[in-house]
Each structure stands twice: as structure tokens, then as C-alpha cells.
Amino acid sequence: MKAVILAGGKGTRVRPLTYLLPKPMVPIVERPIMSFLLDLLKKHSFNEVIVTVGYMANTIEDHYKNGADYGMQIAYSLEGKLEKGEIVPVGLGSAGGLKKVQDYSKFFDEPFLVICGDALIDLDFTKAMEFHKKNGATATVICKEVPKDEVYKYGVVVTDENNRVLSFQEKPKVEEAKSNIINTGIYIFNPEVFDYIPDDGEFDIGGELLPLLVEKGEPFYATAPEFQWVDVGSTKDFYEANIMLVNQEINEVTPYGKEIASGIWTGINCDINLDEVEVIAPVYFGSSVRLEKGAKVIGPSMIGSGSIIKENATVEESVVLGYTKVSSHAHIDKKIIAGKYIINPFGSSVDIEESDMTFLVDDARKEEGAISEEQKEIMEMIKNISELETVR
């Protein structure tokens, strides 16, 4: 079967993480979000996958190549152009991107799945496809029931008693919402939907194509099965998804590596002496992590490969990406450390280079320089980095 992963967006709400990587490549416990999706697609016999790319397209293509490592075939459709050797994204809209693929090769010759590349899910795609075919649908939207007080964050789907879609409400006020069934951005389409997508310009699935299908009276249905849906649309979502996986709260997924003690996972080549450090589970350590004497890591936390937690430093309920050095006596509390950024999960951040804070957190691959007397004084004054006022 055939599927499309929409992976061309800039991921502005996940910045500064997406200054470093395209959103589908942002790691959840050291594994790109998109890799979890490919595993699920393969499990349900979707073995031909088109990935629409734009922003940082080369990063995605270089990682997944032709799909051989996943036992499937993967191809890419670029939504952009090359200028001075750099790919510049050109938005086509989610539906416009599908149209470009179809115009290129008539790839879609059977019902196909469309999914965004920024969510962790455990949806039974096989049953969803059966629902679509049973109803003779042109389009099916996969929905989810949410608490009524959360509907303002989503597009609400209104159906009749037979699950046929009647209308949509885009992020309605709670008191005005006609249902608590929301659009998850997962769709099944028949090839005839392309009759409703214009040849030129941007065209969106949720805002334009779906309402048009309702208006034209096409057989369009919604289904809301029970499944886990962890949307990674912001830095807060990214933080929570990592914490959930370390807590083993994401269905059928456990941290990768060896469990050296209850709730403590490590990769290979680590220098962690549990008699000289304090580790409070659950914690994931990637490969080649070093904890120096007196270091403390309080879970749920994720420490990426190649990282060093220096003597008497503390990391608490944080997500620390690879090759990070946390200096002696620093205290990282409920933060994301990604490259040169210290990120508050709710979106504010500090550039440690611009702020001259590399003596607190830095790249573990750098040679250590001497700490100035002024920096030592600052470290004495700032024992807990969580008390710093972070700015965007």
C-alpha cells in the first residue's frame, strides 16, 4: 500500500530545535520522530512511501535514502527550488504537495494514506483502511475524541449518525463547539480527490480540500478509533514526548539500550559508576556518556550520547541532547539542552554562546579552557540554572 508523509514545514513553533534539524528529524530519546512513523507504516504493509520535503530537505533524504534500511521504498517530492546552491522552500500547501506528486507520475492509483511527520501514534492503519473501503469513501479523516475544554486548540469535525462528515469548525470557542471530535491530520484518500485540487498555487487539505469535498457531496467519512496520539508541534510537546518515552508511557515503545538497573537504560561505552554518582530512575543515557564523581541525574531525564555531566553537577527532569557538557556544580532543572541552546519547555530560550554562558553548558567535544575568576563568582551565585530568566 501507499502512503505520504508531509515533512516540508519549517517547524517554527519548535524553534530553536528546528534551527538545527527539520521537525520530522527532531529526536525523541535519540530517535527521529519520522522513524517511529516508518516502523508503524511498515507494520501495516505500507511499503511505498512518498515524503514531501522542503525545509532542510537534504537532512531527511540523506538519513532515509531509498528506504532499504526500513525494508520499504521511499521517494521524495521537493517543494522548493535551488538558489545559489541552497534549497529554498516553496509552499504548495498540504494538498498542493500531493497534487505535485500525482502530476509527476500518477503515483496514486489506489486508496492512500496521508500523515504528518511530527507525531507519535499507534493507530491501527489496517482497520482505518478497512473503514474507508467499507464506506465507499472518497476521503476519510482520522479523528480523536478530546475533553470538551480542549477543543479550542483543534479543528472540530461534525458528523451525522453514520459518521459522514457534515462540516468543520476551526478552533471554536468551547461554548460554541458542535462536538469534541477533532481532526488529527491523518487522512485516507482515493485518487479522485485530485479532481478537486487546483493545478497551481497553494492548496491546503484541512482548510480548503475537506470543506470542498463536503460542499460537492463526495462520500466523506470520519472515524475516531482509540489510539495514542502524541503531537510534537512545539518545544513543550517535544519535552513532554521525551519524558513520556522515558516514563514508558508511549505504547509499545521502550528506551533503546541495556537496562543496567530498574528504570535506568544506557547505550554502550558509558562511564557511569553507580557507586560514585546518584541516578534516580527513570533515566536514559545514550552511548559514550560520562558521569563524573558526585554527579546527580534525577529522572525522568534523557541524556544524549557523548554527553558529560561533570563533578557535582545536577540534571533534573531534563532533556539533554548529544555531546553536551554540563559543568561542575551547574544545576539543570526541567530544561532542554540542544546544541548551543538552553530551552525552557514552554518556548523561551538562551543562546549560550551569545550570552557567554559556555562555562555552564557547552559542547562536550571542545577542549576545556580555564574558568576565569569572574566566571567562578558567577557560578557561585547561580547554583540553579532553572532560576535564570530565559529570553527568546
Q: Which domains does the chain possess?
A: 2-231 (3.90.550.10), 255-387 (2.160.10)
Q: What is the pLDDT of residue 196?
A: 94
pLDDT at 369: 55
Q: How many helices (H) and strands (E) does the chain have?
A: 8, 29
pLDDT for 390 equals: 37
User: CA of 158: how far to CAs of 122, 143, 145, 183, 209, in Å?
Assistant: 24, 11, 12, 10, 16
Using the Cα atoms of residue 206, residue 209, residue 210 and residue 215 in order, give the sign of their dihedral: positive
> What pLDDT sits at residue 88?
79
Phi first, then psi: give them for residue 288, nearest 5 degrees.
Answer: 60, 35
- The ranges of the chain with pLDDT < 70 are 11, 14, 347, 357, 359, 368-392
pTM of the model: 0.86
DSSP state of 205: I
Q: What's the one-letter identity of residue 64?
A: Y
pLDDT at 361: 75
Closest CA to 329 of 260, 377, 279, 271: 377
Angular region, 300: left φ>0, alpha ψ -120 to 50, beta rest: beta
